[in-house]
Amino acid sequence: MCDKCSENLHQAVAPSRRAMMLFAGSALAAAAFGGSALAKEAKEAKAPPKPQNVLSPDAALKRLMEGNARYVSGVSRRHDFKHEREALVGGQNPYAAVLSCADSRIAPEYAFDSGRGDLFVCRVAGNFAGDETVASMEYTVAVLGTPLILVLGHDNCGAVDATIKSLKDDKPLPGHIPSLVAAIAPAVKTAAQQSGNALDNAIRQNVMDNVAKLKSAAPILNAAVEQGKLKVVGGIYRLSTGAVDLLTQG
């Protein structure tokens, strides 16, 4: 290549000093604007839809039980569901999760005088933690930042009573109901060794067993418990009064 061609090629690919300064200035301006926009977007994305639900595990338990006290006393608050719906369109940050029996007489949202977006509720007859429920609890803790899980049993539980009778009579129940029996059976067998009312003991034991299961569920829930970010407790809902008696407080 001749010297002239080499000189022309260099001039074609090498930007002038002025062009470089203009480019740098534009890049800095774009970066500044873009960075500001991204920071604003990130800030907005992190802002919880219900800031009052950002609580420690102990504060969440206190709030939950205060709600139950209002419910029992018949002085539940009036909730503004319209504006709650609007605030929750883009996300949720419940302050507590509840694993409750599917019994129609149990309604955690009422029992704890809560609004929309306050409670993350899983319900199944016999309030036990199967794989899907454990996964759901992992989701609310790891993704939504929920600091409290309550396993909520209730007196006169039909699922527990049916399990006791099925095991005693050695008679399988129809349909898919044996899957419920299999899940509750360990608690019934343990409670059979205890003195007192067999049904009450089994209901209590079932709650305690599932509290233990959720607290030790690896790798997400057990880590959150160990780090002090999560508390898992158990309670019994009393049908006659609506009161929740805590069995464990974490």
Whether 138 and 222 map to the same domain: the answer is yes
Whether 15 and 34 map to the same domain: the answer is yes
The whole-number pLDDT of residue 68 equals 98
The whole-number pLDDT of residue 235 equals 98
Distance CA 136, CA 217 (A): 12
Whether 154 and 212 map to the same domain: the answer is yes
Whether 25 and 58 map to the same domain: the answer is no
pLDDT in tens, 183-222: 999 999 999 999 999 999 999 999 999 999 999 999 999 9
Please compute, for residue 235, the number of CA atoms within 13 A of its CA located in the half-sphere on the CB side.
28
**Residue 35 belongs to domain spanning:** 3-44
pLDDT in tens, 158-180: 999 999 999 999 988 999 999 99
* Ranges in the chain, pLDDT < 70: 1-46
**CA 19 and chain centroid, separation:** 55
Whether 203 and 242 map to the same domain: the answer is yes
We report the CATH number of the domain holding residue 231 as 3.40.1050.10
Q: How many domains does the chain have?
A: 2
Whether 17 and 92 map to the same domain: the answer is no
Please compute, for residue 236, the number of CA atoms within 13 A of its CA located in the half-sphere on the CB side.
19
Whether 62 and 39 map to the same domain: the answer is no
